[in-house]
């Protein structure tokens, strides 16, 4: 459906859990966040009810995320049931890739179309220091597995940070020479743990582009608002997503469902609409989602404010 500003909202991002098996420095504190009680997290059947109700409003694209979606017990079942809903034509996940190589085959059979794998460094030691606990080999295995299974396109989300992984920019470019992946450089956002390092580590992509004239612009990916580039002869592509410095709210087509059952019309706003009380009435559920879409603000104000107005971090909202 169209929101108040004429944007066509057809995309629902669903956080299936706030738990994660990593502790990325810009996302979660080392000790983790206080986990929600089991009963406060939506059951898989309830998530499905909400997704079904959203399809009545023209939502046709679902991304399961978290926290880490692959730590959710029934994620394969949830994907399978989602794939059977009339109107859904795209199911994707965003994952850190640690558990993916073992699960990718089953998830594809269940109906998964595409994956975004988060990876901020190609150096094992640095991977351990950014994620605090992760094993880079597992992620690289997952990327190969997804490519061999034909889960297309495989996109790699890389948060580029000054003084942390900016020196690896060229290594990521070179990865696209060998692999048919899309590396998507994402600006660090002042949200969650990102607030603590934003001033010191944020980096403008204009700066990187200026240093790399060998990158040729090939277009804009409307659905994700990534500016796309390519190296001559490379198998893959490079995308730049700048939610802070070039906000793309005018093209925003999504709403988010948190793992506790609230809709967030905008990532950077405090506003949340609780759907739990409507779970047993599909019509009321659809109406509540409709009101949430109608209340979607025109834009966020991250550039003018030093931090997101959302009280939750990305792992709690679903990035």
Residue of 87, 95, 2, 97 lying closest to 51 (CA atoms): 87
The distance of closest approach from Cβ of residue 275 to ligand SAM in the complex, given in angstroms and rounded to an integer, is 21
Kindly state the tokens that stand for 239.
């995308």
Q: Is 18 in the site for ligand SAM (CB under 6 A)?
A: no
Q: How far apart are the first and last CA of the chain?
A: 22
Kindly state the tokens that stand for 287.
């109406």
Report yes or no: 79 and 48 within 8 Å, Cβ to Cβ: no
Binding test (CB under 6 A) with ligand SAM, winner from 25, 100, 107, 186: 186
Q: Is 26 in the site for ligand SAM (CB under 6 A)?
A: yes
The distance of closest approach from Cβ of residue 117 to ligand SF4 in the complex, given in angstroms and rounded to an integer, is 10
Q: Is 65 in the site for ligand SAM (CB under 6 A)?
A: yes
Whether residue 255 is annotated as binding a ligand: the answer is yes
Phi, psi of 317 (to 5 degrees): -90, -40
Measured from the CB atom, is 96 or 165 closer to ligand SAM? 96
Binding test (CB under 6 A) with ligand SF4, winner from 3, 68, 168, 272: 68
Measured from the CB atom, is 84 or 270 closer to ligand SAM? 270
CA distances from residue 253 to 57, 60, 137, 265, 279 in whole angstroms, order as listed: 13, 11, 34, 10, 24
Long-range contacts of 198-206 (CB under 8 A, 24+ apart): 198/306, 198/307, 200/162, 200/163, 201/26, 201/161, 201/162, 201/163, 201/164, 202/161, 202/162, 202/244, 203/160, 203/161, 203/162, 203/166, 204/245, 205/160, 205/240, 205/242, 205/245, 206/245
Kindly state the tokens that stand for 170.
């060229």
The distance of closest approach from Cβ of residue 159 to ligand SAM in the complex, given in angstroms and rounded to an integer, is 5
- 28: Cβ contacts below 8 Å, ≥ 6 apart: 20, 22, 192, 193, 313, 315
Total residues in contact with ligand SF4, by rule CB under 6 A: 13
Whether residue 24 is annotated as binding a ligand: the answer is yes
Choose among ligand SF4, ligand SAM, none what residue 65 binds, the Cβ cut-off being 5 to 8 Å by kind: ligand SAM
Binding test (CB under 6 A) with ligand SAM, winner from 23, 52, 62, 66: 66
The CB density around residue 295, as the number of other CB atoms within 10 Å, is 16
**Rounded Cα gap, residues 94 and 66, in angstroms:** 8
Report yes or no: 65 and 314 within 8 Å, Cβ to Cβ: no
Binding window for ligand SAM (CB under 6 A); candidates: 56-64, 105-113, 182-190, 268-276: 182-190
Q: Is 94 in the site for ligand SAM (CB under 6 A)?
A: yes
Binding test (CB under 6 A) with ligand SF4, winner from 33, 66, 112, 240: 66
Q: Collapse the DSSP code of 271 into the 3-class scheme (helix H, G, I; strand E, B; otherwise coil) and give the result.
A: coil
The distance of closest approach from Cβ of residue 214 to ligand SAM in the complex, given in angstroms and rounded to an integer, is 26
Binding window for ligand SF4 (CB under 6 A); candidates: 5-13, 37-45, 61-69, 140-148: 61-69
Q: Is 265 in the site for ligand SAM (CB under 6 A)?
A: no
Q: Is 116 in the site for ligand SF4 (CB under 6 A)?
A: no
Report yes or no: 18 and 66 within 8 Å, Cβ to Cβ: yes
The distance of closest approach from Cβ of residue 125 to ligand SF4 in the complex, given in angstroms and rounded to an integer, is 17
Q: Using CB under 6 A, list all residues that contact ligand SAM.
A: 20, 26-27, 65-66, 68, 94-96, 118, 157, 159, 186, 188-189, 191-192, 194, 314-315, 319
Cite the annotated binding site for S-adenosyl-L-methionine by residue number: 26, 67, 118, 189
Q: Using CB under 6 A, list all residues that contact ligand SF4.
A: 20, 22-24, 27-28, 66-68, 96, 118, 314-315
């Amino acid at each position: 459906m169209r929101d108040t500003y004429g944007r066509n909202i057809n995309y629902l991002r669903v956080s299936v859990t706030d738990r994660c098996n990593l502790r990325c420095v810009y996302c979660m504190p080392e000790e983790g966040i206080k986990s929600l009680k089991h009963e406060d997290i939506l059951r898989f059947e309830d998530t499905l009810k909400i997704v079904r109700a959203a399809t009545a409003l023209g939502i046709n694209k679902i991304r399961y995320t978290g926290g880490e979606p692959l730590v959710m017990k029934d994620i394969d079942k949830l994907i399978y049931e989602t794939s059977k809903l009339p109107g859904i034509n795209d199911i994707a996940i965003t994952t850190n890739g640690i558990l993916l190589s073992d699960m990718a085959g089953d998830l594809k059979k269940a109906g998964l179309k595409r994956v975004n794998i988060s990876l901020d460094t190609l150096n094992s030691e640095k991977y351990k220091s950014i994620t605090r606990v992760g094993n880079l080999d597992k992620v690289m295995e997952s990327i190969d597995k997804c490519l061999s299974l034909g889960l297309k396109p495989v996109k790699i989300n890389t948060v580029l940070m000054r003084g942390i992984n900016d020196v690896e920019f060229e290594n990521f470019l070179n990865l696209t020479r060998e692999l048919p992946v899309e590396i998507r450089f994402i600006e660090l956002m002042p949200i969650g743990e990102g607030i603590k390092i934003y001033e010191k580590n944020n980096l403008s992509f204009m700066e990187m582009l200026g240093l790399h004239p060998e990158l040729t612009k090939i277009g804009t990916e409307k659905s994700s608002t990534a500016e796309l580039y390519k190296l001559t002869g490379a198998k893959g592509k490079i995308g730049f997503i700048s939610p802070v410095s070039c906000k793309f709210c005018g093209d925003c087509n999504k709403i988010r469902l948190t793992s506790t059952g609230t809709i967030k019309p905008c990532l950077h706003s405090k506003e949340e609409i609780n759907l739990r009380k409507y779970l047993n009435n599909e019509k009321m559920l659809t109406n509540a989602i409709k009101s949430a879409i109608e209340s979607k603000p025109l834009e966020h104000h991250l550039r003018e404010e030093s931090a997101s107005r959302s009280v939750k971090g990305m792992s709690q909202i679903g990035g």
